[in-house]
Amino acid sequence: MALAAIMDSLDNVEESVQQYYKQDGDKYVLQIDGVREHPEVTALKNAYDAEKQKRSDAAKERDKFKEIADKIPEDFDADEYERLKANGDGGEDVQKKVEEARERERKRHEKKIEQLTQERDDLAHKYTGTRTEVALEKALSEVNVAPHLRRAAERLWSPDTQIDEDGNVVTKDGTPLSDAIKEWSQGDEGSYFIAAPGNGGGGAPGGRNGSGGGKTNPWSKEGFNLSEQGRITNSDPERAKRLKAEAGG
């Protein structure tokens, strides 16, 4: 039986299989290894490579017809050519017809190449989006980002995610995505996104890595820190407001 990638509920899923799903908000997402070998990703890559080959073939075909057009105009036959030459004053007409034929051929091939290029770019965009989205979801799951903060984390990282020349998902500075997110999750900013044991995650009240009280809250009595208050207020006003409320401010 095939496993669905996303489930609304695990009620009808065998207990032995439930361990392979991870809750993401109100959905359950199947944890996938070997994304590159996934049939859908493979199919997209194959389609992308096929479009590249079509473009190459179209360019070769254009060059072939251009070589022919350089010698014989498309709408000009041998008898007409000989007649114009025999008249003595038909040289300009011959040249004009040759140039017109070349121009028509050039425009036809340029249009074909433009169409193939657009199809290739569309496939490349779809392929890149699928690869980066899957890799980003996996990396965030590995560091245990809280379900209710998953979308915010994805929006934060998505603009900085790309595929390098070797097909690896990396950040814009070339760092492997999984390594970058792991490092981020251990820092001041990322720690607030991480689910803490026994609560809803980074933003839950009382969370050591979240917005909760104690020394992690610069508005609390124990952790009072004016510099940290200013930094949080400038970078994340909503979080600053929440921390103030939790500290009783």
> Looking at the structure, do residues 46 and 137 belong to the same domain, yes or no?
yes
Rounded distance between C-alpha atoms, residue 52 and residue 41, angstroms: 17
Looking at the structure, do residues 44 and 137 belong to the same domain, yes or no? yes
Whether residue 79 is contained in a domain is answered as yes
pLDDT of residue 211: 42
- With respect to residue 161, please indicate whether it lies within any of the assigned structural domains: no
On whether the CB atoms of residues 184 and 149 are closer than 8 A, the answer is no
Q: In a structure prediction context, what are the per-residue pLDDT tens digits for the chain, which is 249 residues long?
A: 567 778 888 888 888 877 877 888 888 877 777 656 667 767 877 888 888 888 888 888 888 767 655 655 555 566 666 665 666 544 556 667 777 778 888 888 888 788 777 776 665 655 556 778 888 888 889 989 888 888 888 888 989 888 888 888 899 899 999 999 999 988 888 888 887 553 344 444 444 334 443 447 888 888 888 888 888 888 888 888 888 888 876
Q: Is residue 201 part of a domain?
A: no
Q: How many domains in the chain?
A: 2
Query: Does any domain span residue 185?
Result: no
- Reference 236, options 198, 197, 210; nearest CA is 210
Q: pTM for the complete prediction? A: 0.34
* Residues 41 and 55 grouped into a single domain: yes
Please tell me whether residues 118 and 104 are part of one structural domain. yes
Would 56 be classed as within a structural domain? yes
Nearest Cα to 192, choosing from 176, 207, 210, 206?
Answer: 210
Beta carbons of 146 and 193 less than 8 angstroms apart:
yes
Secondary structure (3-state) at 144:
coil
> What is the domain extent for residue 25?
6-31
Same domain membership, residue 51 and residue 25: no
How high is the pLDDT of residue 82? 67
β-pair type (169-171, 21-24): unpaired
Task: Select from 123, 142, 161 the last residue of a domain.
Answer: 142
Q: What is the pLDDT of residue 52?
A: 86
Considering the domain boundaries, does residue 40 fall inside one?
Answer: yes
Instruction: For residues 27 and 77, state if they share a domain.
Output: no
Residues 119 and 86 in one domain: yes
89-117 b/e with 16+ CB inside 10 Å = b? ebeeeeeebbeebbeebeeebeebbeebe
Residues 26 and 44 in one domain: no
H/E run at residue 153: helix 150-157
Question: Which residues on adjacent β-strands are paired with residue 97?
Answer: none
Q: How many CB atoms lie within 10 A of CB 155?
A: 9
Provide the pLDDT for residue 182: 92
Tell me the two tokens of residue 202.
């980074």
Residue pair 73/97 in contact (Cβ under 8 Å)? The answer is yes
